[in-house]
Structure formats: structure tokens, C-alpha cells
């Protein structure tokens, strides 16, 4: 399958066979870096090797050329603040090029969009991200603990960490239910209890503990209920 072969070539070329020193040189010298051209050449050669078909030489050249265009755009426009964003944009564009080649060879089709079961799963997964976070936040709004003050213990936390932890846990619980591995749900509950509630016990704030417990049960409950409904 062309898609898998090109993805393998991409993973090898972009990560395994690209030293950090090359990345640093490219970011410093941008289009003047010789390693940018070495990198593109390696991608082209790897694509050709994995395809191993002389009639598909143009596919390897296309992958190499588009890789250069995408990498050049990333190096030209990214800065310290947008570096992480451009990394994901860069990877997405590379995968889209490979997917486009695969679609040209009719390896993919859009028939899955007509599959009602698939659409229900996608709908449920989307609901368990931001929409579910908003529902839980609204349900907990009347019990939100007071901000840290002189009599409260300061608790340091990463920006928006709770939101993303909640999204990931709901998606994992939903996945476990869809593949009929309910024991995974129990593992998730136990793991979060160990890491989360041990910290809360040290803080000795009963209201905060109850608030987090209600939020956790709502989060897991929504994921379980959504999984049961979809199944």
C-alpha cells in the first residue's frame, strides 16, 4: 500500500534520520542551510526505496519537492512563539500530501462518510471534547471553590491542564467501552484517584476535594453514558 510505504519513509526521514544538529542549523540559517537540501534528498531517496517501482519515480520526486516547499514555508514563517504550531502544521501538510497521492491511486475513498456507525462514533468523540467540558463546567459553576487567598493553600497547575486531562480521560474511557474493555475504565479511575486525590489529601481542603471528585465523576459518567448510547 502506497500510503503506508510513504508514511514509513516520512517517519524515518523526518525523525530517525534527522539529527538535532540539522534541525538547529535549519532554524538558524533557514533556506541557506545545506542540511535542508540533504533532508529533502533523503526523503526523496527513502520514498523511492520504499516504493521500489521505477514507474513511480515521479511520486518520490513529488514527495521530495512538496517536502521542500512545506519545510521552507515553516522555516520562513515560524518564530519562537509559533514554533510548536508550525511543527503540527508541517506534519499535517506532509501527511495530506501522502494521502493525496494514495487517493490518486484509489487506495482511499470517501465511502466511510456514508457509514452511519462511523459518523455516530465521530459525533460522540467530538461531544466528549470541548462540548462536554462546557457542560461539566456549567454544572459545577455553583460549587467553584474560592480563589487562593491568605487562608488557602496555593496550588500550582499548568495552564488549561485540567481541561485537557478531562478531554483525554473521556476519550480513553469512550475508546475502552467501544472495544469492550471495561477493565480499562476501572484502571483509569484508579490511576486518577492515586495521582489526583493524594495531592488533594495533602492540601487538606475538603471543599476542593469534593469539587474535584464531583467533576471527575461527571467526566467519567458522561463518557460511560455516551459509550453505552452509541453501542
Q: What would the grid cell of residue 62 be?
A: 513529488
pTM of the complete model: 0.78
Cell 474511557 belongs to which residue? Answer: 173
Neighbours of 126 (CB within 10 A): 11
> Can you list the pairs that 165-168 forms with residues at least 24 positions away whose Cβ atoms lie under 8 Å?
166/132, 166/133, 166/136, 166/215, 166/219, 167/128, 167/129, 167/130, 167/132, 167/133
Closest by alpha carbon to 30, among 81, 79, 94, 82?
79
Rounded CA gap, 120 and 215, in Å? 25
pLDDT of 150 strictly over 50: no
Rounded CA gap, 216 and 222, in Å? 10
Eight-class DSSP state of 144: P
Contacts of 104 (CB under 8 A, 6+ apart): none
Given pLDDT bands bounded at 50, 70 and 90, which one contains residue 111?
Answer: confident
Given pLDDT bands bounded at 50, 70 and 90, which one contains residue 152?
Answer: very low
Q: What is the pLDDT of residues 189-229, one digit of tens each?
A: 888 777 766 665 555 566 777 777 888 899 999 999 999 99
Cell 480499562 belongs to which residue? Answer: 184
Q: What is the pLDDT of residues 114-131, one digit of tens each?
A: 788 999 999 999 999 999
Q: What would the grid cell of residue 3 be?
A: 500510503
Q: What is the pLDDT of residues 55-110, one digit of tens each?
A: 999 999 999 999 999 999 999 999 999 999 999 999 999 999 999 999 999 887 77
Given pLDDT bands bounded at 50, 70 and 90, which one contains residue 158?
Answer: low
pLDDT of residue 5: 96
Contacts of 127 (CB under 8 A, 6+ apart): 226
Average of per-residue pLDDT values in the chain: 88
Contacts of 13 (CB under 8 A, 6+ apart): 39, 42, 43, 46
Contacts of 226 (CB under 8 A, 6+ apart): 124, 127, 128, 174
Amino acid at each position: 500500500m502506497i500510503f503506508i510505504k510513504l508514511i514509513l519513509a516520512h517517519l524515518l526521514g523526518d525523525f530517525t534520520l534527522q539529527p538535532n544538529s540539522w534541525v538547529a542549523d535549519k532554524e538558524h540559517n533557514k533556506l541557506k542551510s545545506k542540511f535542508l537540501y540533504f533532508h529533502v534528498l533523503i526523503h526523496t531517496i527513502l520514498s523511492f526505496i520504499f516504493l521500489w517501482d521505477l514507474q513511480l519515480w515521479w511520486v518520490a520526486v513529488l514527495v521530495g519537492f512538496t517536502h521542500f516547499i512545506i519545510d521552507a514555508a515553516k522555516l520562513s514563517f515560524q518564530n519562537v512563539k509559533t514554533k510548536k504550531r508550525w511543527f503540527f502544521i508541517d506534519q499535517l501538510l506532509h501527511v495530506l500530501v501522502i494521502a493525496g497521492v494514495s487517493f490518486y491511486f484509489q487506495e482511499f475513498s470517501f465511502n466511510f462518510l456514508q457509514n452511519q456507525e462511523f459518523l455516530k462514533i465521530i459525533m460522540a468523540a467530538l461531544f466528549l471534547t470541548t462540548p462536554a467540558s462546557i457542560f461539566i463546567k456549567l454544572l459545577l459553576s455553583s460549587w467553584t471553590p474560592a480563589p487562593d487567598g491568605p487562608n488557602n493553600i496555593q496550588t500550582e497547575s499548568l495552564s488549561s491542564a485540567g481541561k485537557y486531562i478531562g478531554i483525554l480521560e473521556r476519550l480513553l474511557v469512550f475508546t475502552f467501552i467501544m472495544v469492550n474493555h471495561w477493565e480499562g475504565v476501572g484502571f483509569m479511575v484508579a490511576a486518577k484517584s492515586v495521582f489526583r486525590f493524594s495531592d488533594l489529601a495533602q492540601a487538606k481542603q475538603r471543599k476542593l476535594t469534593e469539587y474535584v471528585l464531583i467533576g471527575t465523576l461527571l467526566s467519567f459518567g458522561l463518557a460511560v453514558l455516551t459509550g453505552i448510547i452509541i453501542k
